[in-house]
């Protein structure tokens, strides 16, 4: 087995609360992610999937356990600019044109102007927005803005791309188009992707593996291999295996949620009674 | 999907500026009508030549204290006074004199505005990076503004002398506060995820300040700079008006013409109008810079 790109070993994260008890967002999570994988973290709201992503990206420190990225601590990986990150909102800088937004990480790295221009051009070609290079973010639709933010995240050719519910704010039609687009980008760049979502179809359609999480405390219930053939397309969405896998993920989600509710002692979160349906149907 | 946007904000800005100027002119005309209307109804009697060339006296129907020639001189008298000598036996006209005074005061105010903006900006940049510094200094920053400038101006003149420097310090004192407060808000305005994005690119604090916090703060900065621009004129005028403050400038003229009010009220009015016009000029100058700097932003044409 080659060295994993991301090695998570018994990572826990506890948030202090006003009562002083502390909420356990992540409970001894271990997961290895291999080069070129597309791993989705799925679970209902409050299961810690976004926290796990933030811990991987060194945006928040774990309370316990270790994260290694490319064989080095997460902090070092961040300082080496090994990450690209895409949030649910595009988080574009509205005073920068599309091309200047994509160039931002390159500027921070200190790349020369000519190198930047070339790289930005490649990235805009990748997300098919070359014609909009000089537009400003407010002139673009939500889906186009999110494509710009993907181009920005990929500009530094990161070893690993972290995506935190990137299409959660988009309508269903746009989301499906964006899923195909991400698949195409992933196949072309070969970047390892960690993808947080609460949409089962999205996770199944995109991933090589889906890690199903349960809340309170946040745990990985099961990691499901998605053996759908590639390239995946509209036929995939109508195939029998696709529906089987969706059912599989859904049952694992339900199981994890029920057991968590059953043993939910010490839970300090008021929305503990929230049903799975709300959290998982995208 | 995509709005028509070849060059965002080129023609609409012109048009809105023209419309703004037109509205301002109409309002000015209305103000003059009300002014002279008050004189017509309740002012002092005045002489004029009728069509036949005979001198006639116009007698207004009412007598309002607010509309007497002493409280509210005729607009044309103020206008005429601008061309008349500033003092007896002097060549210089009042208009020329006020222009020179405004130029003098404007330079002091501009220096004060510049220093105040830099000071306010620096304080905000310090506070946004250090909660400790904010907690330690902010109370004094706020307290400084509760003390009336009239009480402090003599102290400042005493400490820094009666020259231009002391006057600039007064203007700075009045301008740094709005900039510091708005700028603190502006530098803290970026989305937390934008800050995380910068961190994920291993951006230094300095880079985050330069590439994210600063550009995000600019709309706040210009809003406060417009307040500070007019405050800087007030500061310079108060500074000049200090006992022994300055021989020149609008502040000194206002005090002098105040003493001569009984013999020539229109001079003080002319000085007040000159001060207002100077403030307006500063305001518009900031607005123009704002439009240039913020061009291309979605909210550029607003406020």
Chain B nearest-CA distance from A163, in A, is 12
Average pLDDT, chain A: 86
Task: Enumerate the residues of chain B whose CB falls inside 8 A of the CB of residue A84.
Answer: 200
pLDDT digits (tens, 9 = 90+) for A158-169: 989 999 999 988
Look at B5 and A93 and tell me if their CB atoms are within 8 Å. Answer: no
Chain A neighbors of B194, CB-CB under 8 A: 91, 93
Give per-residue pLDDT as tens, A142-191. Answer: 889 999 999 999 999 898 999 999 998 888 888 888 899 899 989 998 99
**Chain B contact for A143, CB < 8 A?**
no
Least confident of A26-30, A215-219, B190-194, B270-274: A215-219
All residues of chain A having their beta carbon less than 8 Å from the beta carbon of residue B203 are: 108
Mean pLDDT per 10-residue segment, chain B (303 residues): 45 78 94 94 88 87 91 91 86 92 96 97 95 93 89 86 87 94 95 94 94 95 95 93 80 90 91 94 94 77 49
Identify which of B201, B202, B215 has the shortest CB distance to residue A93: B215
Closest CB to B298 among A94, A144, A162: A94
Residues above pLDDT 90, as percent of chain A? 62
Is A136 within 8 Å of B202 when comparing Cβ atoms? no
- DSSP-derived pairing of the beta strands A192-197 and A38-42: parallel
Contact A139 B3 (CB under 8 A): yes
The strands making up A38-42's β-sheet, listed across from edge to edge, are: A83-86, A160-164, A192-197, A38-42, A209-214, A219-225
- Chain B interface includes A190 (CB < 8 A): no
From the candidates A94, A95, A150, which should be mutated to test the interface with B, based on the most B CB atoms within 10 A? A95
Residue in chain A lying closest to B200 (CA): A78
Cβ atoms of B168 and B117 within 8 Å: the answer is no
Give chain A positions within 8 Å (CB) of B201. 81, 104-105, 108-109, 156
Q: Is the peptide bond before A264 cis (omega within 30 degrees of 0)?
A: no
The predicted structure's pLDDT at residue B243: 74
Which of B202, B204, B208, B295 to mutate against chain A (most A CBs within 10 Å)?
Answer: B202
Min CA distance, A75 vs chain B (Å)?
10
The minimum CA-CA distance between B208 and chain A, rounded to whole Å, is: 9
Confidence at residue A259, expressed as pLDDT on a 0 to 100 scale: 47
Give the minimum alpha-carbon distance from A48 to chain B in angstroms, rounded to a whole number.
17
Whether residue B5 lies within 8 A of chain A, CB to CB, comes out as: yes
Report how far apart, in Å, the C-alpha atoms of B96 and of each of B89, B90, B93, B103 are: 15, 12, 5, 11
Question: pLDDT value at position B88?
Answer: 81
**Radius of gyration of chain B from its Cα atoms, rounded to whole angstroms:** 25
Residue A281 or B111, more confident: B111
Q: Do B201 and A108 touch (CB under 8 A)?
A: yes
Q: Which of A78, A96, A136 sits opposite B8 (nearest CB)?
A: A136
What pLDDT score does A231 carry?
Answer: 85
Please state, in angstroms and rounded to a whole number, the distance separating the CA atoms of residues B205 and B187: 12
What does the angle CA A221 – CA A260 – CA A209 come to, to the nearest 5 degrees?
20
- Per-residue pLDDT band for A258 (boundaries 50, 70, 90) equals low
Q: How distant is the Cα of A58 from the closest Cα of chain B, in angstroms?
A: 8
Instruction: Please check whether residue B300 touches A, CB under 8 A.
Output: no
Residue linked to tokens 């930047």: A116
Strand-by-strand arrangement of the A23-33 sheet? A23-33, A6-15, A64-69, A72-73
Residue B151, SS3 per DSSP:
helix
Tell whether ipTM is more than 0.90. Answer: no
CB pair distance less than 8 Å for B193 and A109: no
- Chain A CB within 8 Å of residue B211 CB: yes
Question: Do the chains contact at B5 and A139, CB–CB below 8 Å?
Answer: yes
Nearest Cα neighbor of A38 from A185, A167, A192, A158 is A192
Q: Where are the beta strands (DSSP E) in chain A?
A: 6-15, 23-33, 38-42, 64-69, 72-73, 83-86, 160-164, 192-197, 209-214, 219-225
CB contact residues (below 8 A), chain A span 91-130, against chain B: 91, 93-97, 104-105, 107-109
CB contact under 8 A, A89 and B193: yes
Going by C-alpha positions, the residue among B277, B258, B241, B248 that lies closest to residue B149 is B241
* Dist. CA B214–CA B8, nearest whole Å: 22
The pLDDT assigned to B264 comes to 87
**Residue indicated by tokens 């503004």:** B145
- Which tokens in the block code for residue B45? 């009697």
Q: Are A69 and A11 within 8 A, CB to CB?
A: no
Q: At what angle do helices B265-293 and B94-129 cross, to 10 degrees?
A: 40
Report the residue of chain B nearest A81, measured CA to CA: B201
pLDDT at site B149: 87
Nearest to B298 among A93, A132, A138 (CB): A138
Q: What's phi and psi for B277, nearest 5 deg?
A: -65, -35
- Number of CB pairs, chain A paired with chain B, less than 8 A apart: 70
Share of residues in chain A with pLDDT > 70 (%): 90
Nearest to B193 among A91, A95, A104 (CB): A91
- The pLDDT confidence band at residue A123, using thresholds 50, 70 and 90, is very high
- CB contacts, 8 Å: A105 with chain B: 201
Alpha helices in chain B (DSSP H): 11-42, 75-83, 94-129, 131-146, 149-160, 164-187, 192-200, 205-208, 214-241, 249-259, 265-293
- Cβ of residue B216 closer than 8 Å to a chain A Cβ: yes
């Amino acid at each position: 087995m080659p060295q994993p790109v991301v090695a998570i070993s018994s990572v826990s994260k506890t948030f202090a609360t006003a009562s002083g008890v502390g909420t356990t967002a992540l409970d001894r999570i271990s997961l290895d992610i291999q080069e070129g994988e597309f791993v989705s973290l799925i679970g209902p709201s409050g299961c810690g999937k976004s926290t796990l992503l933030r811990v991987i990206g060194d945006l928040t420190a774990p309370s316990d356990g270790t994260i290694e990225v490319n064989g080095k601590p997460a902090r070092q990986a961040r300082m080496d600019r090994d990450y690209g990150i895409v949030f649910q909102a595009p988080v574009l800088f509205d005073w920068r044109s599309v091309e200047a937004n994509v160039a931002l990480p390159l500027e921070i790295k200190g790349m020369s102007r000519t190198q930047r221009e070339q790289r930005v051009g490649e990235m805009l070609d990748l997300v098919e927005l070359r014609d909009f290079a000089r537009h400003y973010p407010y002139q673009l639709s939500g889906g186009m803005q999110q494509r710009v933010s993907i181009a920005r995240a990929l500009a530094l050719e990161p070893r690993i791309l972290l995506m935190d519910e990137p299409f959660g704010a988009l309508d269903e039609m746009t989301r499906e188009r964006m899923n195909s687009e991400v698949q195409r980008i992933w196949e072309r760049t070969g970047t390892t992707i960690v993808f947080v979502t609460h949409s089962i179809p999205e996770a199944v359609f995109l991933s090589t593996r889906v890690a199903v999480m349960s809340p309170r405390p946040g745990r990985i219930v099961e990691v499901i291999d998605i053996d759908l053939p590639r390239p995946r397309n509209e036929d995939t969405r109508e195939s029998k295996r696709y529906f089987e896998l969706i059912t599989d993920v859904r049952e694992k989600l339900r199981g994890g949620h029920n057991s968590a509710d059953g043993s939910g002692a010490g839970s300090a979160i008021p929305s503990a009674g929230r049903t799975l349906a709300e959290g998982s149907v995208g | 999907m995509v709005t028509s946007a070849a060059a965002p904000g080129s023609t609409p800005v012109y048009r809105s500026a023209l419309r703004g100027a037109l509205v301002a002119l109409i309002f000015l005309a209305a103000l003059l009508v009300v002014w002279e209307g008050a004189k017509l109804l309740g002012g002092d009697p005045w002489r004029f030549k009728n069509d036949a060339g005979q001198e006639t006296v116009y007698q207004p129907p009412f007598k309002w204290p607010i509309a007497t020639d002493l409280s509210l001189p005729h607009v044309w008298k103020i206008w005429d006074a601008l061309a008349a000598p500033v003092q007896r036996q002097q060549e210089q006209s009042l208009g020329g004199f006020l222009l020179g005074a405004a130029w003098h005061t404007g330079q002091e105010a501009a220096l004060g505005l510049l220093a105040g903006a830099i000071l306010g900006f620096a304080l905000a940049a310090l506070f946004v990076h250090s909660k400790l510094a904010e907690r330690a200094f902010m109370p004094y920053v706020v307290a400084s503004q509760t003390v009336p400038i009239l009480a402090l101006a003599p102290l400042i003149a005493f400490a820094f002398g009666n020259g231009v420097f002391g006057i600039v310090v007064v203007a700075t004192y009045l301008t740094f506060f709005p900039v510091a407060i708005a700028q603190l808000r502006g530098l803290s305005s970026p989305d937390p995820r934008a800050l995380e994005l910068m961190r994920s690119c291993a951006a230094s604090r300095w880079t985050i300040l330069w590439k994210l916090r600063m550009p995000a703060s600019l709309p706040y900065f210009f809003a406060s700079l417009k307040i500070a621009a007019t405050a800087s004129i007030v500061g310079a005028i108060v500074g000049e008006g200090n006992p022994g403050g300055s021989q020149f400038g609008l502040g000194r003229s206002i005090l002098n013409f105040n003493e001569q009010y009984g013999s020539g009220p229109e001079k003080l009015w002319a000085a007040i109008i000159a001060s207002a016009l100077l403030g307006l000029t500063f305001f518009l100058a900031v607005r123009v810079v704002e439009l240039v700097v913020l061009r291309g932003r979605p909210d550029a044409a607003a406020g």
